[in-house]
Amino acid sequence: MTTRPLVVATQETTSDVKFDKTMEDRIADVLRRYPTTRAALLPVLWLCQERFGWISPGVISAVAERLGESAAFVEGVVSFYTMYYTSPPARYVLQVCTTLSCSVCGGRELVDHLTAKLGIGFGEKTPDGSFQLVGVQCLGACGNAPVIQINDDYYEDLTPKKLDAVLDDLKGRR
Amino acid sequence: MEPVLLRARGVPGSRSIATYLAAGGYEGWKRALGLGPDAVVKEVLDSELRGRGGAGFPTGRKWSFVPKDHPGPRYLVCNADESEPGTFKDREIIEHDPHQVIEGIAIASFAIKANTAYIYIRGEFVRWATILEEAIGEARAKGLLGTNVLGSGFDLDIWVHRGAGAYICGEETALIESLEGKRGFPRLKPPFPAVVGVFGKPTVVNNVETLACVPHIMTRGAAWFASIGRPRNTGPKLFCVSGHVNRPGVYELPLGVTFREIIEEHCGGVRGGRKLKAFFPGGSSAPVMTADEVDVKADFDACAEAQTMLGSGGVIVLDDSVDMVAVADNIAHFYAHESCGQCTPCREGSDWCADILDRMAAGHGRASDPDTLLRICRFSSEGMTICPLGDAYALPLSSMVNKFRAEFERRIADATPLPQKRLPVLPWTGPRPGFGI
Ligand SMILES: Cc1cc2nc3c(=O)[nH]c(=O)nc-3n(C[C@H](O)[C@H](O)[C@H](O)COP(=O)(O)O)c2cc1C
Ligand code: SF4
Ligand code: FES
C-alpha cells in the first residue's frame, strides 16, 4: 500500500477560489444524483478537500455560492463533521483510534510511542510538516486493533515496530 | 454452519461480478422481478429476518410501512455507517462480496418501489466506497441496474454517498439529515422515515448485513432462512469479536449460539490464558455483561431478557487485567464526543460523566460519584432524548457502575480527595480524542 501525501494548496490559492472546468464537471456529475442541490454539499466538500487539501474560508464561500447556500450554513455543516480539515493539514495525517478495543489492545502504547518518536501531541504537526497526530474514534476495524488511518488508508494490527517501518517509508517519499 | 454471508471470503477474485454470477449471483434479483413487490415483502416477512443494524426490527414489517398510495418518489438507503464501537462486519461483507449488497439493495428497492437508492458509507471507508462504486458500475454494465432492468420496466439507480466523520449519522434520521446536506441532527419521531424520510419522501433505511441476507432469502426461500437459529431470531449473523481474545475477527454463526461458544470455541478463548472479566454483547452501546453471563444466547430476545441487547453483534471482550473505571471513562468520552448536542440530558450528561470518570481514573473519586453517575444516566435514558444515543451512553455506563460497583468503590476508597468544591478541570493524562484539527 502506498499512501499518497495530501496536496495542500497555499493560503493564496485558497482565499479566492474559482472552480475550473474539471471541477465544474465533477460538481455537475454529483448534482444529478440528488433531487435537491443542498444534498450535494457533502460530496462537493469532499471534491474540494481532495483538490485544495482543506476547507478554507475561500472554499466555503465558493461552495456556498455554487450551491446557493449561505456561507454560514456551509460553515455550520463543515464544523459538524470531523473529517473536513479547517486548517491546512500535514502531508500525512496519523489518525489514531482511541476507542475501547484499540485502547485495550495496544493503542495506548502506540500513542506513547508516536508522541515520543515525533515529539508532538494530539492535534499537533511535526515542524517539517510531514506528520500530524490526531486522536479519532472507532474506525470500524476493531478486530485488527490497534488501528491507525493515514490519510485515506487503514493500517491495522500495528505494533510500534511495524509503525516505525511505515513512517520511515512515508518520510522517505516526498 | 456453512457460510452464507461470508461464503466469498477467501475465494480469489470474489469481488468481481463474474465470480458472483458464477456462484448463482443475481438469481434472487431475477426471481424478485418475476414475483412482484408484494410477494417479495411477504417472503421477507415469512423469513422473520430482523434488522442487523442495531434495533432488530423485522425487515418485512418495516418495508410494509411504506404507504402504498404515496405518489412517490420513494427511497431506499443502505446504512453502511458502521460506527458503533466494536463493529466491523459491514466492511467485511463489502471487502469480499460487494455484489451481495448491491443485489440486496436492488431487491429491497423493488419491494418498496423505490427507483433511487443511496448507500450512506462512513467517510473513513474510502477504500470500501470505491469497491461499492466499482460493483455498481459492473452491475449497470450488465443491465442489472439502470433503466428498464432486464426488460422488467423497473428503473433503479444506486449512488454511494460518503459521510464525513460523525457517529450519530448511523442513526437513521441523522443519516437522512446528513444525506440531505445538513448537520447530522436526529429528527423527532414520529413521523417515521417509512412515511417521511429523505427529501420528505417515504424512505426505508436498512443495514448492509440486513440487505445482504435478502438475496439468499429470495433464492433459497423464507423457510430455509427461518430454519437457521430459532423462532423470531432467525438466520445467520455476523459476530465481530474484538478485545482480549486469541482470534479476534468476524464470525458467521446462527443466531442463538451462546457467547461462551463464540468466545471460547470460535475465538480460541481469552488471550494469554487470562480470565474473562466482562464483555459487551453488541457494541459499546449495549449494557455490559459479566463473566457469569457468558452462557446467555447471542440473539435478540435472549439478550433483551438479560437486560442488554444484541445490537450490531460487536462483541468486545475484556480480560481480568482491565480496570472498569478506565473502560467506563473511555466509553464516556466516546459518547461525549459523538453527542450531536441537541438534547440537554445527552449533551451535558455525557460530558459530565466523562469529567467525573476522568477524575475517578486520576485517583480523585468521591463517595458520591457512583450514585451521581447513575442519576445522570437515569435522566438521559427512558425516552428523555430525541434519539437513542441518550440511552446508548447511559445504559452501558450505569450497567458498569451497577455490576462492578465494588471496583468503583475500591478506587474511591484509595482516592486522594481534591480540595476544590467545584468539579476541577484536570490535566489529561492519557489518550483523548483530538477534536478535529
Ligand atoms: C446512535 C446510533 C447509531 C447507529 N449507528 C448505526 C450504524 O452505524 N449502522 C447501522 O446500520 N445502524 C446504526 N444505527 C441503527 C439505525 O438507526 C437503524 O436502526 C438501522 O440502520 C436500521 O437498519 P436495520 O433495520 O437493517 O437494522 C444506529 C442507531 C443509533 C441510535
Ligand atoms: S440524544 Fe444525543 S445524539 Fe440524540 S439527538 Fe439528543 S443530543 Fe443528539
Ligand atoms: S476501537 Fe479502534 S477501530 Fe474500533
Pick the last residue of a domain from A59, A88, A117: A88
Is CATH 2.60.40.420 the classification given to domain B17-227? no
Residue with cell 452462557: B295
| A8, A81: one domain | yes
- The domain in which residue A21 lies consists of 1-88
Q: Provide the pLDDT for residue B437.
A: 39
How far apart are the CA of B309 and the nearest CA of chain A, in angstroms? 18
Please tell me if the domain spanning B17-227 has the same topology as the one spanning B324-413: no
> Which residues of chain A does B242 touch, with a Cβ-Cβ cutoff of 8 Å?
101, 105, 142-143, 145
Number of structural domains found in chain A: 2
Helix residue ranges per DSSP H, chain A: 11-15, 21-31, 41-52, 57-67, 71-80, 100-102, 108-118, 160-172
| A82, A163: one domain | no
B79 lines ligand 1 (CB under 6 A): yes
Element counts in chain B: helices (H) and strands (E): 17, 11
Is CATH 3.40.50.150 the classification given to domain B324-413? no
Q: Which residues of chain B have pLDDT under 50?
A: 434-437
| A78, A1: one domain | yes
B339 lines ligand 2 (CB under 6 A): yes
For the domain bounded by B230-319, which CATH number is listed? 3.10.20.600
Out of B83, B343, B377, mutate this one to test ligand 2's pocket (max ligand atoms within 8 Å of CB): namely B343
How far apart are the CA of B391 and the nearest CA of chain A, in angstroms? 18
Question: What phi and psi, each to the nearest 5 degrees, are found at residue B162?
Answer: -90, 135
Average the pLDDT over A6-13 and give the result.
77
Rounded Cα distance, B171 and B63, in Å:
18
Residues 94-123 in B contacting A (C-alpha not used; CB under 8 Å): 122-123
CA A120 – ligand 1 centroid, Å: 36
Residues 358-377 in B contacting A (C-alpha not used; CB under 8 Å): none
CA B389 – ligand 2 centroid, Å: 6
Could you tell me how far CA B116 lies from the centroid of its own chain?
Answer: 23
Residue B240 in contact with partner chain A when CB distance is under 8 A: yes
ipTM: 0.97
CA B39 – ligand 2 centroid, Å: 38
Rounded Cα distance, A42 and A78, in Å:
8
Region of A53 please: left (phi>0), alpha (psi -120 to 50) or beta.
Answer: left
Rounded Cα distance, B214 and B99, in Å:
12
The DSSP line for B181-223 is: TS--PPPPSSSPTTTS-GGGS-EEEEEHHHHHHHHHHHHH-HH
| Lookup: cell for B370 | 457512583
Write the DSSP symbol of residue A121: -
Which of A132, A143, A154 lies closest to B242 in CB terms? A143
| A18, A84: one domain | yes
| A77, A63: one domain | yes
Residue B163 in contact with partner chain A when CB distance is under 8 A: yes
Domain of A20, CATH number, reads 1.10.10.1590
Q: Provide the pLDDT for residue B423.
A: 63
> Do the Cβ atoms of A141 and B88 come within 8 Å?
yes
CA B177 – ligand 1 centroid, Å: 14
Q: What is the CA radius of gyration of chain B?
A: 22
Ligand 2 atom at minimal distance to the Cα of residue B380: 1
Residue pair B412/A78 in contact by the 8 Å Cβ criterion: no
Average the pLDDT over A150-157 and give the result.
96
Instruction: Give the Å distances, CA to CA, from B116 to A32, A35, A96, B9.
Output: 12, 10, 36, 29
Pick the last residue of a domain from A55, A88, A121: A88
Region of B255 please: left (phi>0), alpha (psi -120 to 50) or beta.
Answer: beta
Closest C-alpha to B218, from B92, B68, B53, B105: B105
Rounded Cα distance, B268 and B255, in Å:
19
The DSSP line for B94-128 is: HHH-HHHHHHHHHHHHHHTT-SEEEEEE-TT-HHH
Which one of B83, B124, B428 would you mutate to disrupt binding with A, by most A Cβ within 10 Å of its Cβ? B124
Rounded Cα distance, B405 and B371, in Å:
10
Residue B275 in contact with partner chain A when CB distance is under 8 A: no
Residue B146 in contact with partner chain A when CB distance is under 8 A: no
Pick the last residue of a domain from A88, A122, A148: A88
Q: Determine whether A62 is exposed, middle or buried from the number of CB atoms within 10 Å of its CB (0-12, 13-18, 19+).
A: buried
Domain ranges of chain B: 17-227, 230-319, 324-413
Q: Provide the pLDDT for residue B417.
A: 77
